[in-house]
Amino acid sequence: MTTSKRYDRIAFVASASTEAQQALAQLEKIYGNNDPAGADVVVALGGDGLMLQTLHQHMHSGKPIYGMHRGTVGFLMNEYGTHDLHTRLAAARESLIHPLLMRATDVHDKVHLHHAINEVALFRQTYQAARLKILIDERERMAELIADGVLVSTPAGSTAYNLSAQGPILPINAALLALTPISAFRPRRWRGALLPDTAFVVIEVLEDEKRPVAAVADHDEVRDVRRVEVLSDKTISMRMLFDPGHSLEERILSEQFGH
């Protein structure tokens, strides 16, 4: 979707790296720097880590986020440039991102709620593999998965940890989630599943005392979980802006062909 609005009031945020801080100083000199609460758009200077942090911070604001690459990994970022930023923002294409909501219950029956933009992942906490049961929409689909763990990924997160775990790359507008095992031992040949983004995923931990498991929603970790529920939270829509020809849709498509 192409935006038609002119973003006059820009709020800049930057990572702590020297490169990002130098970029912040350059852009502030040219465009000023508005408080995010009153800004039309938030421009994040850094890498994908800063973009995820910025999206989390502004998850409920409805403000569009435009990233410029001044960090290490920049899959979610546009190229850096100081020239005519207002025009670039006005011409940008918008992608809507829905986060995952994780509801994790630990062994003490305490419930933890966290959102994830990339993925919700479960990991073994000790040298022993995790034993997990998987239910989709309250129907048992896998009675036992023995693995280092398992993750549920959004389309936006499908090129992150999900891809490293041999999961599928999802087009950003696909109404899908990826369910991907991490180093599966049994069933050894199971490579995961594609789920509709309306799916209610429940992962139960078997032998939680002998084989403890942690659950992580992006950067929020819960130790010693016994049940984790995951669903796409359609009540939250985050707006990411990308330069024409460098949209997230195009990046994800290119990644599938090794570019």
Residue 197 is labelled as binding a ligand: no
Catalytic one of 8, 35, 48, 84:
48
Residue whose tokens read 């929603």? 217
Distance CA 215, CA 105 (A): 10
The response to whether 175 counts as a known ligand-binding position is no
Q: Is 33 known to sit in a ligand binding site?
A: no
Return d(Cα 203, Cα 206) in angstroms, integer.
Answer: 10
Number of other CB atoms surrounding residue 82 within 10 Å: 12
Q: Is 163 annotated as a binding residue?
A: yes
Give 257: exposed, middle or buried? Use CB within 10 Å, 0-12, 13-18, 19+: exposed
Annotated binding-site residue? 209: no
Residue 92 known to bind ligand: no
Give the HSE-up count for residue 160: Cα atoms under 13 Å, Cβ half-sphere: 23
- Is 48 among the annotated ligand-binding positions? yes
Let me know if 48 is a catalytic residue: yes
Residue 156 marked ligand-binding? yes
Is residue 231 within 8 A of residue 201, CB to CB? The reply is: yes
Edge to edge, the sheet with strand 41-46 lists 10-14, 41-46, 64-69, 238-242, 93-97
> Is 162 part of any known ligand binding site?
yes
Integer CA distances (angstroms), 151 to 51, 59, 123, 168, 207, in order: 21, 22, 9, 12, 19
Cα(183)–Cα(146) distance, integer angstroms: 9
Beta bridge partners of 204: 133, 227
78 labelled ligand-binding: no
State yes or no: 34 annotated in a binding site.
no
Q: Is 49 labelled a binding residue? A: yes
Whether the upstream peptide bond of residue 181 has omega within 30° of 0, thus cis, is no
Q: Is 191 helix (H, G, I), strand (E, B) or coil?
A: coil
Going by the annotation, the residues of the binding site are 48-49, 118-119, 148, 156, 159-164
Going by the annotation, the residues of the binding site for NAD(+) are 48-49, 118-119, 148, 156, 159-164
Active-site residues, by number, are 48
